[in-house]
Amino acid sequence: MIEINITPQNQHQRIDKFMLKVLPGMSKSFCYKMFRKKNITLNGKKINGHEICHEGDLIQVYFTQETYDHFATRIQEKRFESDGVLDVVYEDDQLIVINKAIGVLSQDDGTAVSVIDQIRSYYEEKNVQMDTGFRIGVSNRLDRNTTGIVLSAKSLPMAQIINQKIKNHEVVKLYKSIVFGKIDKDIELKDTIHKDHNNNKVSIDQDGEIMIHTLLKPLRWNESFTEVEIEIKTGKTHQIRVHLASIGHPVIGDNKYGNIHLNKDFKRKYNLNHQLLHAYSYQFIEGDIPLDNERYYKPFIAINPDLYNTIAKAVFK
């Protein structure tokens, strides 16, 4: 028998979800079967899997050590090794903030290296230990070809706090981009969109089911280009890109919503194969969910990618 003590770091979650994290090689149906047959119990009692774990609870798993170790290893998990140094913006014992590079996925999908792969490799190198049942994840997502701030909690309580802050809109998320055309005043955009799941594309639609809200602040401009700071009040798929394109100022390099003809010039000159969009600042603000570290109320800042700076220097001579 293997015993698992519930600590403050892994309490307040359903036992079925907790056990599937502890034993990721175990299927959900098999897990529930083990509950029914009392091969997994909570404080010595039969459970259905919906019970909430609390600090001090004891889970008994009536497996041999060999069986337990087998299920503790994810079956056919495909991992990708990071091919670069992780750009850490901030780190403490509860949180790591990174500057995601171009081409890196926010979450694992089995096709390419992800932020989670990079953080996992970083923790292994630094010998950082995660709490039992806690799996590395990210609290905010960026498109594969968008660079910038990504947050990852180091414990379940911290992940829950961050997720609640995001849900309550107690965060300020700022991006920078260079767009085609001249914008010389602040603009507020509110629209609804329709998502085409087959083509992974969204469009502005007055009858759309998803609302998007974006604030634009020009930082510098000329007759041909504008560097703009973007604050997103909602965080929907391709929100910034479709909103900018809808007002005639598509993001440079955006081949999905932008000007393909003009983009070809940037590809030829700078080998730009993606939208020039950078999530440069992320800040928590005061609200219903308090944070115990005052540092979290200051912005986390991700420096611009080199290519962004090169293009900015060229177009704003």
CA atoms within 13 A on the CB side of 264: 2
Kindly report the number of other CB atoms within 10 A of residue 251's CB atom.
27
Compute CA distances 177 → 38, 55, 99, 151, whole Å.
56, 46, 16, 21
Q: What is the DSSP string of the chain?
A: -EEEEPPTTS-SSBHHHHHHHHSTTS-HHHHHHHHHTTSEEETTB---S-PBP-TT-EEEE---HHHHHHHTSPTT------SS---EEEE-SSEEEEEEPTT-BSS--SSS-BHHHHHHHHHHHHTPPPPTT-----SS---TT-EEEEEEESSHHHHHHHHHHHHTT-EEEEEEEEEES---S-EEEEEEEEEETTTTEEEE-TT-SEEEEEEEEEEEE-SSEEEEEEEESS--TTHHHHHHHHTT-PBTT-TTTS-HHHHHHHHHHH---S--EEEEEEEE--SSS--S-GGGGSPEE-PPPHHHHHHHHHHT-
Confirm whether 16 is a catalytic residue: no
Q: Which of 143, 184, 196, 265 is catalytic?
A: 143
- Tallying the residues shown for the chain, one arrives at 317
| Catalytic residue IDs | 143
